[in-house]
Amino acid sequence: MEQKTKQPNAEEHLGLVHLCANRFRERGIEYEELYSAGCMGLVKAANGFDPERGVCFSTYAVPVIIGEIKRLFRSGSTVHIGRRLQELSLQAKRAAERLRQENGREPTVRQIAEALEITEAEAAEVLCASQPALSLTADTEDGESPLEIPVPSPEHALQEHMALHQVLGLLSAQDQKLIRLRYMENMTQTAAAKQLGMTQVQVSRREKKILLFLRSELLK
């Protein structure tokens, strides 16, 4: 059944949300709010993604995530993490652990949503809220925003995607394979670790370092 749908697991692509949200830092909205809006965009991208079009998920998802963050700026509203969300977060962790033991694999957003009897969008927000919002932005002494990109256009997103492919060429073969497994083949860190001969913890740490490196190169 999982192979039939081939829908990407939103949880496995939270790194894209961090990369997009960081572009709008220091613009009047807290990073947590940017991240939450980006997570909603990630879920929309996962639900609307059609693998038959021959486009990798990251290419499709980035404009959708940015669009949701852009909507946040336009509306002037914020996404609050309230008591109910915190309670659901604890329930989601328990449900995820139970599903993990029952199925022997990481649960999807849809499975957790069904377990909690909430929508997939709500489940994604809950899961995002339970994730530590790690900043990929290096501290700047001058206090300036790392990127001056208020509202990127689709053309600009395409240019950035092309630039990203060029920067990927700077990585070692091992690191390129890690990124390909994680962001193009939609593998979990555990599955990627088996392919790379590493542990899940090693993959997690290496992935963070790679994302930091990619971001620093793209900002040059």
Residue 46 confidence (pLDDT) above 70: yes
Identify the structural domains of the chain with CATH numbers, from first to last. Answer: 1-136 (no CATH), 153-220 (1.10.10.10)
DSSP for residue 53:
G
Please report how many Cα atoms fall inside a 13 Å half-sphere around the Cα of residue 127, on the Cβ side.
31
More confident residue, 83 or 35: 35
Q: Which pTM does this prediction carry? A: 0.40
Rounded Cα–Cα distance for residues 143 and 52 (Å)? 44
Task: Work out the pLDDT band at 81, boundaries 50, 70, 90.
Answer: very low
């088996």: which residue's tokens? 194
pLDDT at 62: 87
What Cα–Cα distance (Å) separates residue 109 from each residue in 8, 40, 146, 164, 216? 10, 12, 32, 28, 31
pLDDT at 186: 66
Over the stretch 197-217, which tens digit does the pLDDT of each residue have? 999 889 888 888 888 887 776
pLDDT at 163: 55
More confident residue, 147 or 220: 220
pLDDT at 194: 92
Rounded Cα–Cα distance for residues 97 and 95 (Å)? 5
